[in-house]
Structure 1
Amino acid sequence: MQSVEAGAVINARSSIVWDIITDARNYTVWDSGITHITGELRNGGTIRIRTRAGGNRMVRVRVQQMPGEVMTWTGGLPLGLFTGVCTFILEFQGGMTHLRVKVEFTGPLRGLLWTAGTETQQALTDYVNAVKKRAEILGRHTHPAG
């Protein structure tokens, strides 16, 4: 198994962070790294995504959720030859939210198909930072100071 992980403590309620990461319609509006997405980010759903790092290739993934806490996107090749699982975990910490995103690759073809570890790590870090920025901006608008 090969994996990469990124995380951030976000100064916003976990419900705001959850709304951002499950709002498929707006993924291309903010700097998520996803350039095209179809389908709904709901438990048991299927989405198709195209990422900046992946070029023109569309990837089909299955979505599983424990609403407000955990979401996984699972995709790959038949017969378990290559599987990628992206897990999003939200933990509430004293008025803030800790978001962790981990991508794991398994299967006998992972060495051939997953050669850009540092590129994947950077894309994941950029994604988490973009969620943080968006959540903190939206959080300020839902809870004005004072």
Structure 2
Amino acid sequence: MHSVEAEALIKARDSTVWDIITDAGNYTVWDSGITHVTGELRNGGTIKIRTRTCGSRIFRLRVQQRPGEVMTWTGGLPLGLITGVCTFTLEPHDDGKTHLRVKEEITGPLRGLVGKAMPDARQPLIDYVNAVRKRSEILGRHAQ
């Protein structure tokens, strides 16, 4: 298994952060690293995304959620040859802040082979979390 993660303490309510990470229509508006997204980020939904780091490659992902708490995007090759899971976890704090953690895990027998051809995901994940933090804090100020 290969995994990378990034996290941030965000000065905004968890509902604000949740609204941002589940609003597929606006992912390309803020600097999320996602250049194209279709579908709905809802429990049981399917989305198709294209990222800045993977060029024209389109990823088809299944979405699972516990609204306001956890969301996963899962995709991969048939027969479990490679499976990627991106988990978004929100933890609210009493002071109105939210801890966001995003973890990407790649498993399966072809992980090593495919992993060498894929760009390093750590920096894009850090950039994503920082972009969510920035957008949440801006929108959170306007909601008060």
Interval containing the TM-score (normalised by the shorter chain) = over 0.9
Q: CA deviation at 1:117?
A: 7.7
1:44-123 map, 5 Å: 44-94=44-94, 95-115=96-116, 119-123=120-124
Give the share of equivalent positions with the same residue, in percent: 73
1:33 and 2:33 correspond: yes
Indicate if the aligned counterparts of 2:46 and 2:60 stay in contact, CA closer than 8 A.
Answer: yes
The list of structure 1 runs, each at least 4 consecutive aligned residues, that deviate by more than 2 angstroms after superposition, is 115-119
Cα deviation, residue 29, structure 1: 0.3
Scaled by the length of structure 1, the TM-score of the pair is 0.95
The answer (yes or no) to whether the contact 2:11–2:98 under 8 Å persists in 1 is yes
Which letter does structure 2 place at the counterpart of 1:27?
A: Y
Count of aligned positions: 143
Could you tell me how far apart the structure 2 residues matched to 1:118 and 1:53 are? 7
Structure 2 gaps of 5+ residues are none
Distance 1:128 1:36, change over 3 A: same
Deviation at 1:119, TM superposition (A): 2.5
Q: 1:6 to 1:117 in 2, by over 3 A?
A: farther
Q: Which runs of 5+ in 1 are unaligned?
A: none
- What are the equivalent positions in structure 2 for 1:125-140 lying under 5 Å apart? 125-140=126-141
TM-score (ref. length: structure 2) = 0.97
Determine helix, strand or coil for the equivalent of 2:38: strand
Over the aligned positions, Cα root-mean-square deviation in angstroms equals 1.1
